[in-house]
Amino acid sequence: MSRPAYASIDLDALRGNYTIARQMHGGRVLAVLKADAYGHGAAACARALAGLADGYAVAFTDEALALRQAGIDAPILVLEGAFDAPETHTAVRHGLWLAMHRSDQIAWLAEASTASDAGIHAWLKVDSGMHRAGFVGAEVKAAHQALQAIPAVSQVTLMTHFARADEPHSDMTAMQMQSFDTATAGLPGPRSLCNSAGLMAWPDARHDWGRAGIMLYGADPLPASGATLRPVMTLRSEIIGVRELAAGEPVGYGATFITPRPTRVGLVAMGYADGYPRNAPNGTPVAIDGQAGRLIGRVSMDMLTVDLTDHPQAGIGSNVELWGAQVPVSDVARAAGTIAYEILSNVKRVRRIHTSS
């Protein structure tokens, strides 16, 4: 018997979440598959969305090439763009869409493309206020002209990225939209402004292309938005040991939990090496055989402990859901002082089981 820790990936839920994103945005939507589809398996997710998604987006070229090697021939946008001239040649050869946020990337594209490469779709990154990457002010028009001067470039999409779209009461997103509109005024081509939070909370930003990331995987970037997203990943394991402790006894590294009463402790085959957050505190929710439970003690590399005192029927082999349909991943992330993006993309070592009806 193999170790009982695994991540179940519901591909029907993935397709349903993409459909919601597409309907909400109204225009075309790229499915963001960077970081191995946020820990869900990029190739499997891309195949599941084939014929439904308008295209995909990844962080860097190697992620895109892995999808090409897996037989994915749909459009793929490389969000960081190429890192040098040879990589630009490779991207062009594989028909990738490249984001352009530096002038040398445009020069590489001009050098890499030939007349036979006609049909290149470039994405011009505008820094509208996040100040992480992109062209600013008058640089935008100059960069746009430089891209249009490349014979093989048939389309330039103007894009930006929001810094605080998940904060509906902040005025920064509206300021970024105004900055983007000013910088791109009079320039032809499609626009792409919305990430998941943008397309959910900022209808005026829904232009030609959306870029749906975290919402595809069922984690709502906006607390209590009311969206009917379904969790795609359920992280599960089993109780592999049970111990009865008297009141006043320590549990785990650092003795961060002292039993307040006679306590039945369940040992679970899951740890931070699997991607469960090490700093999840005492009381972080779990589900034990379908019933609400809690984490106790510090998470170790390969194991963690849960309180079985109020679960008299639970024992060796009992199912433990770390997050999924019963335990929202955002609740675990909030307890650990982080975000769902991080803990989902950190999942590793456990088996991934992709399911579909």
DSSP summary character for residue 274: G
56 is known as an active-site residue: no
Q: Kindly report the length of the chain.
A: 357
Confirm whether 34 is a catalytic residue: yes
The span from the CA of 51 to the CA of 345, in Å, is 25
What distance in Å separates the CA atoms of residue 267 and residue 112, rounded to the nearest whole number? 56
- Residue 270 CA to residue 297 CA, distance in Å, equals 13
136 backbone φψ class: left, alpha, beta (φ>0; ψ -120 to 50): beta
- Nearest Cα neighbor of 14 from 202, 221, 70, 42 is 42
User: Does 102 appear as a known binding residue?
Assistant: no
Do 40 and 14 meet the contact criterion of CB atoms below 8 Å apart? yes
Instruction: Indicate which residue of 18, 34, 56, 125 is catalytic.
Output: 34
DSSP state of 205: G
Contact 196, 339 (CB under 8 A): no
- Rounded Cα distance between 90 and 73, Å, is 15
298 annotated ligand-binding residue: no
Q: Which residue spans within 187-325 are E strands per DSSP?
A: 191-194, 209-212, 233-245, 250-251, 257-258, 263-268, 285-288, 291-296, 304-307, 319-323
The rounded distance, in Å, linking the Cα atoms of 187 and 139 is 13
Extract the annotated binding site: 132, 301
The residues annotated with a catalytic role in the active site are 34, 253
Residues annotated as binding site for substrate? 132, 301
